[in-house]
């Protein structure tokens, strides 16, 4: 049996998913998209998993893009199916009930940048480079890039990245709001581990409510989003974790959250 293109490692509530095709710069072919979809579905349903970290194997790439050799063989119908497969994966990641961190350790181009944008937080090595170079292939982004770039960075930056097709460095990506933090490449793993560990110790029900309020509520009109936020706020008052958190604050001690 062929090995999976996605490896899984668990440690203290954090599940690390690594796209393991370094010989292809972790390019996304159909098998890898399907393996990622299955891995995220499993993480969503595993009570022991509090946080998911996504990264790429090897020193060069997070994900250098979709697999061009595979795409070159597609007709229009198969290309539509490939695009929808990628979009379903990105939507699954975006709607995960647990925080998903992208550790961008190198090139994040095309489908790789689209994958990173679907994650909730993005931490980039200072050596990373990001972009949507599909214009150079006679294509447009197909996994949601045109839509998430607008939402994350605004129309001007989205048009610049998609029309010019030139990669940008990590510092420029941070200026645009495309990544949350930029750290020295040698410190990326430890920085991401520290952030993931902090999130793993946070109140899990509140984490999910925040993700839903921002991701789902943020897709609504303002008044609907405010009502959604208010409902999430009120529901947490029915949880033991909320009582524990507020009591611990008043007693000046660390809270012990139990996801109840």
229 is catalytic: no
d(CA 35, CA 197): 25
Residue among 114, 191, 219, 251 flagged as catalytic: 114
Using an 8 Å Cβ cutoff, are 111 and 143 in contact? yes
Contact 14, 98 (CB under 8 A): no
Determine how many CB atoms are found less than 10 A away from the CB of residue 191. Answer: 16
Catalytic pick from 12, 134, 189, 251? 134
Cβ-contact 100, 117 below 8 angstroms: no
**Residue 191 CA: distances (Å) to CA of 10, 84, 163, 183:** 17, 33, 33, 8
Q: Is 114 a catalytic residue?
A: yes
Dihedral angle, C-alpha 102, 108, 112, 113, nearest 10 °: 80
Show which residues are catalytic. 114, 134
């Amino acid at each position: 049996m062929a090995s999976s293109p996605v490896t899984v490692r668990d440690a203290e509530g954090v599940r690390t998913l690594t796209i393991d095709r370094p010989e292809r710069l972790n390019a996304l072919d159909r098998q890898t998209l399907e393996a990622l979809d299955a891995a995220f579905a499993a993480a969503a349903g595993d009570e022991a998993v509090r946080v998911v970290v996504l990264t790429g194997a090897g020193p060069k790439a997070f994900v250098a893009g979709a697999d061009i050799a595979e795409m070159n063989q597609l007709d229009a119908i198969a290309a539509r199916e490939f695009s929808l497969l990628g979009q379903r994966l990105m939507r699954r990641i975006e709607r995960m009930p647990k925080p998903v961190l992208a550790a961008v350790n190198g090139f994040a181009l095309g489908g790789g940048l689209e994958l990173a944008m679907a994650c909730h937080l993005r931490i980039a090595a200072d050596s990373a480079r990001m972009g949507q170079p599909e214009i150079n292939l006679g294509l447009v982004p197909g996994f949601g890039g045109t839509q998430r770039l607008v939402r994350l960075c605004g129309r001007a930056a989205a048009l610049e990245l998609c029309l010019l097709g030139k990669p940008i460095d990590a510092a420029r990506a941070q200026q645009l709001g495309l990544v949350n933090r930029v750290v020295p490449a040698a410190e990326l793993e430890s920085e991401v581990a520290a952030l993931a560990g902090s999130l793993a110790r946070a109140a899990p029900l509140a984490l999910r409510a925040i993700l839903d309020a921002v991701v789902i509520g943020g897709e609504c009109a303002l008044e609907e989003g405010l009502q959604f936020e208010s409902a999430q706020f009120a529901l947490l008052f029915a949880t033991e974790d909320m009582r524990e958190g507020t009591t611990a604050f008043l007693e000046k001690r660390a809270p012990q959250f139990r996801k109840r």
